[in-house]
């Protein structure tokens, strides 16, 4: 059961990263509605990943690095930065979502953002949060994929 959960965790985080990039692309093109939809999708998928990941760990499914000794330092540097940034990503993402929802509530709909001062201010704060959130989220997603691939080749199942 745990290997299947692990596989679905990987699928959800890959799809989350893709949705994140698409969402960023939409906002850069000025399409707020599609941006919002893809960012919500990315958030739901990332949340599902977290639930699956924690479930997998709870079931005792864990792989340990047993690859070449000369790569060990680089692997653990990648793993440690991944873990630290993942811990940072959750409050950043929640903050970005909070300010976006606050702005949307103030505006009433996406087309009124610029005309409602409280909405404009909330979305300005949302943008400041996302300047940190998006790069951190992408780093966590990409390093997570790399770690998964490394452990696929150089990992040994560790049973607790």
Cβ 17 vs Cβ 86: under 8 Å: no
Cβ 58 vs Cβ 156: under 8 Å: no
What does pLDDT average to over the chain? 95
Q: Over 70: is that where the pLDDT of 160 sits? A: no
Q: Over 70: is that where the pLDDT of 159 sits? A: no
Domain ranges of the chain: 2-159
Q: What's the rounded Cα separation, in Å, for the pair 54 and 6?
A: 10
Task: Give CA separation, 142 vs 63, 96, 135, 149, in Å.
Answer: 18, 20, 10, 11
Say how many C-beta atoms besides its own lie within 10 A of residue 65's C-beta.
16
Fold that domain 2-159 belongs to in CATH:
1.20.120
Q: Report pLDDT digits (tens) over 109-143.
A: 999 999 999 999 999 999 999 999 999 999 999 99
High-pLDDT (> 90) share of the chain, %: 91
- The reported pLDDT for the residue numbered 104 is 97
Across 143-158, average pLDDT: 91
- The reported pLDDT for the residue numbered 118 is 97
- The reported pLDDT for the residue numbered 158 is 76
- The reported pLDDT for the residue numbered 79 is 97
Question: What is the torsional sign of CA 130, 136, 138, 141?
Answer: negative
């Amino acid at each position: 059961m745990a290997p299947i959960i692990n596989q679905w965790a990987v699928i959800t985080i890959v799809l989350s990263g893709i949705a994140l990039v698409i969402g960023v692309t939409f906002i850069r093109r000025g399409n707020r509605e599609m941006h919002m939809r893809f960012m919500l999708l990315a958030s739901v998928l990332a949340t599902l990943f977290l639930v699956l990941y924690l479930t997998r760990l709870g079931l005792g499914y864990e792989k340990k690095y047993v690859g070449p000794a000369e790569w060990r330092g680089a692997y653990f540097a990648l793993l440690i930065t991944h873990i630290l940034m993942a811990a940072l990503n959750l409050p950043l993402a929640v903050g970005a979502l909070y300010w976006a929802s606050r702005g949307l509530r103030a505006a009433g709909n996406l087309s009124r953002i610029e005309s409602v001062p409280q909405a404009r201010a909330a979305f300005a704060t949302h943008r400041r949060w996302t300047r940190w959130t998006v790069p951190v989220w992408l780093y966590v997603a990409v390093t997570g994929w790399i770690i998964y691939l490394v452990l696929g080749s150089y990992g040994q199942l560790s049973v607790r």
